Amino acid sequence: MYEPIFALFCERAKESIQAGTFAKLTLAKTIGDTEIKNIYFRLVLNEDDTLSISLTTRYKTEETESIHTLDEALLILGTYIKKPFLTALLFTTDNDITFKVNKKNAGSIIEQPPTFKNVSPVMLEMIEKGIV
């Protein structure tokens, strides 16, 4: 089962935010031709300097955005694994971490050199304000 590996992936996402290395997180590679195309996970800094997560869900014909706590956002992402997404990509300034589910329902994590040299703009703001 992929759930324990996805939980580890979620922990890595939380760690990247705490360490100030978070750049981007997205779900991609759907099973078949689906209405939903991808989901983007972005950091949002509230007026009181608390962190929220914006989940932008892109469909064939529209886009929706919802705001959540970090834990809520990760739980929501988990509901889309295999329904219909097979891949979650976490980009940090340290490395790229890819979570994949195969046809046998097994999860895996692959680490590669970083794609992004800079953290997300909100992450940079959090670092500058001393929040992380």
- The pLDDT of residue 30 is 87
Domain assignment present for residue 19? The answer is yes
Instruction: Please list, in sequence order, all residues whose beta carbon lies within 8 angstroms of the beta carbon of residue 108, skipping any fewer than 6 positions away.
Output: 5, 99, 100, 102
Span 56-69, mean pLDDT?
Answer: 96
Domain of 53 in residue numbering reads as 2-86+122-129
Contact 114, 92 (CB under 8 A): yes
* Res. 45: pLDDT tops 90: yes
Helices 3-19 and 70-80, axial angle in degrees (round to 10): 150
Global pTM reads 0.93
Instruction: Evaluate the CA torsion angle 45, 63, 118, 8 in order and state its sign.
Output: positive
Distance CA 8, CA 20 (A): 18
Residue 54 lies in a domain: yes
Q: Is the pLDDT of residue 24 over 90?
A: yes
Q: Is residue 105 part of a domain?
A: no
Residue 117 in domain: no
For the chain, how many structural domains are there in total? 1
* b/e code 44-53 from CB counts within 10 Å (16+ = b): ebeeeeebbb
Residue 104 covered by a domain: no
- Residue 33 pLDDT greater than 90, yes or no: no
22, 97 Cβ separation under 8 angstroms? no
Count of all residues that appear for the chain in the document: 132
> Is 115 a domain residue?
no
Evaluate whether residue 42 is within a structural domain: yes
